Structure 1
Amino acid sequence: MASPFLPAGATTGDSGGELSSGDDSGDVESLQSPETEASGSLTELFEKAAAHLQGLVQVASREQLLYLYARYKQVKVGNCNTPKPSFFDFEGKQKWEAWKALGDSSPSQAMQEYIAVVKKLDPGWNPQLPEKKGKEANTGFGGPVVSSLYHEEIIREEDKNIFDYCRENNIDHITKVIKSKNMDVNMKDEEGRTLLHWACDRGHKELVTVLLQYRADINCQDNEGQTALHYAAACEFLDIVELLLQSGADPALPDQDGCLPEEVTGCKAISLVLQQHTTGKNQGDYLSLVAPSQKVFPAPHYQDKPQWKQKQPYSKVH
């Protein structure tokens, strides 16, 4: 069964998990041609393909865009070694998974596969012709915008809301808005998440500190009854869990399913620090008993929740 991230007709190869182009395998071979030599190099042809794709976004499927996105990242960044996005960032996870699936695929292979798909989208493309200039040649991520997915990552300043700035960890902007008193620090998004929820989910400890200084409701619950402490525990940010507890977070506040923060984490150190906070034990006691990376499993009923299933086997603490 073809991967949902592959273009139509693409299959998974038998060698090292690398991707082949199925019925279009000849496209990759055709890159080693006089046309490739005339363009100067494979890298130069790849850059031209990336620039040309800007005019093809409307005719490409989402699967093709994910396929191209992954190969562009493999060429420009290398193997995917970045943390997987949070469990409710569904689009970010799709892009991460498409990139991660390439494994140790070489930049050369990624460029060839990328160019082959661009040629499939526009069989009449001539890389010898210059691309249009001006507004149609927008760039991003240090290079050409290769798909609408990049446009979704690079939101225009005028289109950003306060939660976008929170995800970016833009402390200066958030502080400025809060000081202007034009925004309630406890405002919620459509899922009932506050800025504090988002900051804890992303691991932005300094931003968490700033929000608490501006009287963010530390025990505010989202639409599922989860507090910022639930988020920090589930995402396994021990330092933020400790900061929240020191600032008055209630570890005994359950969510709608009856789960306490200590029951939603896979990190034993976090589970123990939450327990010892409730019982009043010395913090040094739990640290002497467990390594911070030691794993536990959340309560059985929480393991059935989408949040836990989506984040397995990934953990932000390695």
Structure 2
Amino acid sequence: MAENIDLIDEMSLLEKNFNKAANHLQSIVSKLDSGQLLEFYGFYKQATIGVCDVPKPSWYQTQAKHKWSAWNNLGNMSREEAMNKYINAITKIEPDWKIDSNNDANNSWVVVSSLPNTDKKLNDNDKKLLDWIKEGNEVRVKEILMINSSDINNIDDDGMSPLHWASDRGHLSIIKCLIENGAYLDLQDNDGQTALHYAASCGHIETVEYLISVGAKLLKDNDDLTPKDVADENVKAML
């Protein structure tokens, strides 16, 4: 019985340190290269979920494939070993990170929340994926997705995903980043509209061309309208 209690306490301490390390990673993302970020991504997924249990992404989802490989290549590594490797990797980069880290062990991974009050100006530290997408900040979007893209297809209260928002704004570089990281092309909002509906109705020609090139479908929304039916005159001919 005593041994079991010791094992539980040891695991609890490991998880606590792991969560602190994950929290600290947010503050040093800009210092890391893509290889390091992929390594952390793989360890994090292995530590929190276990052995890779998702299929390999589609050919055009390049970043998603890189991240899938980083996780899948860990094979049957235990969650405990993945946590230890994650902590050791952080320590190798910043030996004093535990001193500087916040004592709050809550999970730090970015999640998509309901859209904030538009009248309230957010500090950069409070902004989520949707906020950066609306601002068209490709650098911050890439940083978030490189660390964790598991929420990339989450929807807000209007049923809109990050890809819907990016297509509405016409942020082509962000759209490419989202799709490369595993965003669902034909995800429909509460009205049955896809990202292609949004891009077409707003007249974002380059966005429409790209979405079609990677296989977006001309689905009908809840009013039986396809993207071509709602398209701006400048893009209607393309569809």
TM-score (norm 2): 0.53
Are the aligned partners of 2:194 and 2:219 in contact in 1 as well (CA < 8 Å)? no
Give SS of 2:215's match.
helix
Give SS of 1:97's match.
helix
Question: Do residues 160 (structure 1) and 157 (structure 2) align?
Answer: no
Bigger CA radius of gyration: 1
Aligned counterpart in structure 2 of residue 48 of structure 1, from 6, 20, 43 = 20
Give the Cα–Cα distance (whole angstroms) in 1 for the partners of residues 209 and 31 of structure 2: 33
After TM superposition, give the deviation of residue 210 of structure 1 in Å. Answer: 3.8
Give the Cα–Cα distance (whole angstroms) in 1 for the partners of residues 75 and 95 of structure 2: 29
Question: Do residues 182 (structure 1) and 201 (structure 2) align?
Answer: yes
After TM superposition, give the deviation of residue 171 of structure 1 in Å. Answer: 2.8
Match of 1:126 in 2: 98
Question: Do residues 214 (structure 1) and 225 (structure 2) align?
Answer: yes
Question: Do residues 101 (structure 1) and 120 (structure 2) align?
Answer: no
After TM superposition, give the deviation of residue 132 of structure 1 in Å. Answer: 8.0
- The Cα RMSD (Å) is 4.4
Q: What is the identity, as a one-letter code, of the residue corresponding to 1:197?
A: G
Give the Cα–Cα distance (whole angstroms) in 1 for the partners of residues 51 and 69 of structure 2: 12
After TM superposition, give the deviation of residue 61 of structure 1 in Å. Answer: 1.8
Seen in structure 2, the aligned counterparts of structure 1 residues 39 and 54 have a Cα distance that, compared at 3 Å, is: farther
After TM superposition, give the deviation of residue 78 of structure 1 in Å. Answer: 1.6
Match of 2:37 in 1: 65
After TM superposition, give the deviation of residue 196 of structure 1 in Å. Answer: 8.8
Q: What is the identity, as a one-letter code, of the residue corresponding to 1:63?
A: G
Give the Cα–Cα distance (whole angstroms) in 1 for the partners of residues 24 and 148 of structure 2: 16
Q: What is the identity, as a one-letter code, of the residue corresponding to 1:52?
A: H
Equivalences, count: 166
Q: What is the identity, as a one-letter code, of the residue corresponding to 2:70?
A: A
Are the aligned partners of 1:67 and 1:98 in contact in 2 as well (CA < 8 Å)? yes
Match of 1:227 in 2: none
Q: Give the unaligned 5+ runs of structure 2.
A: 1-8, 113-127, 129-142, 153-160, 169-174, 229-239
Give the Cα–Cα distance (whole angstroms) in 2 for the partners of residues 96 and 211 of structure 1: 34
Please list every run of at least 4 consecutive aligned residues from structure 1 whose deviation after the TM superposition is greater than 6 angstroms: none
Seen in structure 2, the aligned counterparts of structure 1 residues 130 and 99 have a Cα distance that, compared at 3 Å, is: closer
Give the Cα–Cα distance (whole angstroms) in 2 for the partners of residues 38 and 80 of structure 1: 25
Match of 2:85 in 1: 113
Match of 2:187 in 1: 169
Seen in structure 2, the aligned counterparts of structure 1 residues 78 and 38 have a Cα distance that, compared at 3 Å, is: closer
Give SS of 2:190's match.
helix
Question: Do residues 92 (structure 1) and 64 (structure 2) align?
Answer: yes
Give SS of 1:56's match.
helix
Seen in structure 2, the aligned counterparts of structure 1 residues 102 and 212 have a Cα distance that, compared at 3 Å, is: farther
After TM superposition, give the deviation of residue 86 of structure 1 in Å. Answer: 1.1
Q: Give the unaligned 5+ runs of structure 1.
A: 1-36, 200-206, 218-318
Give SS of 2:15's match.
helix
After TM superposition, give the deviation of residue 111 of structure 1 in Å. Answer: 0.6
Q: What is the identity, as a one-letter code, of the residue corresponding to 1:99?
A: W
Higher helix share goes to which structure? 2
Are the aligned partners of 1:70 and 1:99 in contact in 2 as well (CA < 8 Å)? yes
Are the aligned partners of 2:220 and 2:226 in contact in 1 as well (CA < 8 Å)? no
Q: What is the identity, as a one-letter code, of the residue corresponding to 1:214?
A: L
**Cα distance per residue 1:118-140 (max 9 Å; x no partner):** 0011012225x65188xxx9642
Question: Do residues 150 (structure 1) and 147 (structure 2) align?
Answer: yes
Seen in structure 2, the aligned counterparts of structure 1 residues 175 and 216 have a Cα distance that, compared at 3 Å, is: closer
Seen in structure 2, the aligned counterparts of structure 1 residues 167 and 52 have a Cα distance that, compared at 3 Å, is: same
TM-score (norm 1): 0.41
After TM superposition, give the deviation of residue 39 of structure 1 in Å. Answer: 10
Which structure has more relative contact order (CA 8 Å, sep 6+)? It is: 2
Question: Do residues 198 (structure 1) and 192 (structure 2) align?
Answer: no
